Amino acid sequence: MKHIAALQEVVTPWCDGLEPSDAELDAIEAEMPVVLAEVELLDALIVLLDRPASEFDARRIRRAHRRVLAARRDAANKSCPVPPAVA
């Protein structure tokens, strides 16, 4: 009986380039508030898949949606450069 794995070469050789760089980790950290807000909105919407929406559920979705918009706004404001002050 032949072992197939022993006959094949490694498909993805390990190298140092597989780890995220510091810049990529910083970008992920900068996007994390938006991701967390979107997860909260998704959680609120998933709850409504098997039951009708109540007033409490509608409030929860509105709040989650506002948090997503605020997180996106804050992320967009951080990414644009600040113009230098005019002397």
Please state, in angstroms and rounded to a whole number, the distance separating the CA atoms of residues 64 and 34.
Answer: 11
Instruction: Specify the amino acid at residue 48.
Output: L
Is 71 strand, coil or helix? helix
Start-to-end Cα distance in the chain? 81
**Cα–Cα dist 48/36, whole Å:** 19
Digit-coded pLDDT (tens) for 52-86 = 989 999 999 999 999 999 999 999 998 666 566 65
Q: Report d(CA 32, CA 40) in Å as an integer.
A: 12
Residue 42 has pLDDT above 60, yes or no: yes
pTM of the model: 0.68
